[in-house]
């Protein structure tokens, strides 16, 4: 294995990441306002901004799903138990003793096992749940005459809020982990420049040097 600086975050992935972060922040801000936790935005404009932002995020996610499927980058999210215990132990105990992170990034495995599992859970469960409940809530006028519609709306609204809080928890933990181990700048820099340090096999290094030299530094 050779350690090299490799562009593992293409331009679209970085755009998707930061745009998604901005849209989720706006949704949390307007959502908390709609729940009455702050009054920094009037109710009507908050509803309008929340709805437009949610639709923009859905469009972004559709493009992101298409990009992941057509570029093969979905492989980074395939869960594995190999090294999972070591990474979990690192975040639970070893990180407080100043130990080094046990995971080394690979060309086709840039997320550690715990990251891959967490991101996959977000994409398979939390994000679809927030889509479905949000769309059901938004289209209530179309099914309000169905039996027990008001009870269903209450359940849907509570589920929507619960999932939103779970996503907010992920955001807080995600940002917190950027402050441990390496410096905050070192953690964030790859998602700005696209380049990160990864271990390459001789075959991967030869392939990149010959076919995609722009991805090597």
Q: Where are the alpha helices (DSSP H) in 35-148?
A: 43-71, 84-92, 113-121, 127-138, 140-143
Give the Å distances, CA to CA, from 35 to 13, 16, 21, 60.
Answer: 32, 28, 21, 25
Q: Any idea what DSSP says for residue 103? A: -
Which pLDDT value is given to residue 107?
Answer: 77
Give residue-wise pLDDT tens across range 30-87: 999 999 999 999 999 999 999 999 999 999 999 999 999 999 888 888 888 888 898 8
Which domains does the chain possess? 2-215 (1.20.950.20)
Q: What is the mean pLDDT of the chain?
A: 90
146-149 long-range Cβ contacts below 8 angstroms, 24+ apart: none
Which pLDDT value is given to residue 168?
Answer: 96
Which pLDDT value is given to residue 49?
Answer: 97
pTM of the model: 0.86
């Amino acid at each position: 294995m050779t350690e090299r600086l490799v562009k593992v975050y293409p331009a679209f992935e970085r755009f998707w990441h930061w745009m998604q972060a901005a849209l989720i922040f706006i949704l949390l801000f307007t959502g908390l306002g709609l729940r009455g936790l702050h009054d920094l935005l009037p109710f009507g404009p908050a509803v309008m901004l929340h709805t437009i932002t949610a639709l923009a995020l859905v469009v972004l996610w559709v493009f992101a799903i298409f990009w992941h499927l057509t570029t093969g980058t979905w492989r980074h999210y395939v869960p594995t138990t190999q090294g999972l215990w070591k990474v979990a132990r690192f975040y639970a105990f070893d990180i407080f003793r100043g130990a080094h992170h046990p995971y080394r990034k690979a060309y086709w495995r840039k997320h550690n096992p715990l990251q891959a599992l967490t991101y996959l859970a977000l994409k398979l469960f939390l994000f679809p749940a927030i889509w479905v409940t949000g769309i059901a809530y938004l289209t209530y006028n179309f099914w309000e005459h169905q039996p027990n519609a008001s009870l269903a709306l209450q359940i849907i609204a509570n589920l929507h809020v619960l999932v939103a809080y779970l996503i907010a928890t992920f955001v807080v933990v995600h940002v917190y982990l950027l402050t441990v181990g390496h410096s905050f700048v070192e953690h964030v820099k790859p998602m700005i420049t696209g380049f990160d340090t990864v271990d390459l096999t001789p075959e991967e290094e030869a392939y990149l040097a010959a076919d995609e030299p722009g991805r090597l530094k």
